[in-house]
Amino acid sequence: MRFAAKACAHPAVFRVVLKEGAGIDVASYYETRCALEAGAPPVKLDLNGNCKEDFLIARAIETDMLIVADSIEEFQIVSGMAKQMGKSPRVVVRLSGFELGHVTAEAVFTAGRWTKFGACLDDMPRFLKTLNSHPHIRFLGFHTHIGSQIAELAPYLAVLGKMIELGHLLTQTGRKCEIINIGGGFPLSYVTKEEWDRFTERVKDGYLASLTGDMSRVFIWNNRTGGFERRPDGSIDASRWNDDTFYTAYPKEKMVEAILRGKVPVGGKDVDTVRALKDLGEPDLVIEPGRGVVGDSAVTLARVSQVRRVGKWHNLVSLEMGVTSFGEALVYMPVNRWEIINDRDRRDPEPFEAFVAGNLCFSGDMLARYKVSLQRRPVRGDVVLIHDTGSYGPQFFASNANSFPRPARVLVETGGKLTVMRQRDSYNDIFSL
């Protein structure tokens, strides 16, 4: 396993990962440096990324990191550099161009045709034939990363089947397929099935009510349709949720188990996954999870600033925190559990439903674009807790927008040991440069 550093990059986290025996997927030079300084042997680092700098590629070649070539063009660059250095790096190629239909939010789907990542599947037969002109490259196999929060099993089986087929093609060139890395994307259930069904029901109900003029039930900010597609006549296709899904029947390791127990399509037949991997000569099946490892390991706390109305019908809670500290909400619409934490047991007879905004000066600064349900009406000074914010949290998008300090982060280990992973910015941190 390779832990996807980007999901929560910090030496203290990397040390835990390494202690558990996993390696690390790094995608920038500071992620790489941080992993090395946390004690990772270079051979346990896989170098990803679609814009690797020359010096980083050279370092990877020098120290025998596994290089995941993001394109055929990058493969050629790596090969040229390695030749000049007189080295034989280990390389796999990242794939995209899979026909998977809708599998997750567009912003985090990375294996289709319209993506900046990966070499297109269709180009592989031609590419594999060119490997003999790169005799110094130890070409070990294939990598892909479907995207994040992949709630269904089918896409994993589909890509694995294709990769195994390519593995056989690689064997025909006289090489062995030693690595098949199916990336990360292992999903979490942020809510229960009942909560998710209720959520989509509320989205649908709110939008349909709005068509009859009843705006009180609108559930999504700006009366959007969530993951239901809007037809040209304004109605919605309520038969299918066409966006990210925050409940899954296969949370993280269950997905891995289901893949191994499943059947992959190889050569037009459905073959038991384990059998198909054996037939290919037992390559290492590598996973590269981020969210699945750290997503449910953290919570975010923020103080309530104000509680107000929007228009006639809706409540809006504003927090002393910007959307940059909850980056997933910048990229798509995450659905989390929320609660008031300072006075947890006090409740009103009815839950308090509200949209949630941040403290930055642009309208896109929304922390919840759907109505979250709190135990009671919050008041200024209450502390709100967002569950399961461990992946792509403050470390990913945090900025000094509006000159607010980036938040502190604290690691709490089993047994209660606390490590301040990052201090809240001071005035000098923001302005000294």
Ligand X SMILES: Cc1ncc(COP(=O)(O)O)c(C=O)c1O
Residues that bind ligand X (CB under 6 A): 4, 6-7, 25, 48, 145, 148, 183-186, 288-292, 391
d(C-alpha 99, C-alpha 115), whole Å: 12
Q: Which DSSP category does 220 fall into? A: B
Least distance from ligand X to the Cβ atom of residue 331, Å: 10
Q: How far is the CB of 416 from ligand X (least distance, A)?
A: 27
The residue among 154 and 310 lying less far from ligand X, judged by its C-beta, is 154
Quickly tell me which residue has 């010096």 as its tokens: 55
One DSSP character per residue, 248-304 reads -SS-THHHHHHHHHSEEEETTEEEEHHHHHHHTT--EEE---SHHHHGGG--EEEEE
Quick one: 23 or 185, whose CB is closer to ligand X?
185
Residue 429 CB, nearest distance to ligand X (Å)?
A: 27
Give min distance, CB of 252 to ligand X, in A.
9
Closest CB to ligand X among residues 18, 354: 18
Q: Say if residue 340 is exposed, middle or buried (CB neighbours under 10 Å; 0-12, 13-18, 19+).
A: buried
Angle at CA of residue 331, ends 327 and 335, nearest 5°: 75
**In this complex, which beta carbon is closest to ligand X, that of residue 185 or of residue 407?**
185
Residue 149: CB minimum distance to ligand X, A: 6
360: three-class secondary structure by DSSP = coil
Nearer to ligand X, 94 or 134 (CB): 94
Provide, rounded to whole angstroms, the least separation between the CB of residue 289 and ligand X: 4
Of 206 and 283, nearer to ligand X (C-beta) is: 283
Closest CA to 122 of 162, 155, 156: 162
SS3 354: strand
Query: Which residues pair with residue 95 across a beta bridge?
Result: 119, 144
Instruction: Decide: helix, strand or coil at residue 369.
Output: strand
Measured from the CB atom, the residue of 378 and 394 that comes closer to ligand X is 394
Q: How far is the CB of 418 from ligand X (least distance, A)?
A: 25
From the list 132, 12, 88, 3, the residue with the least C-alpha distance to 420 is 12
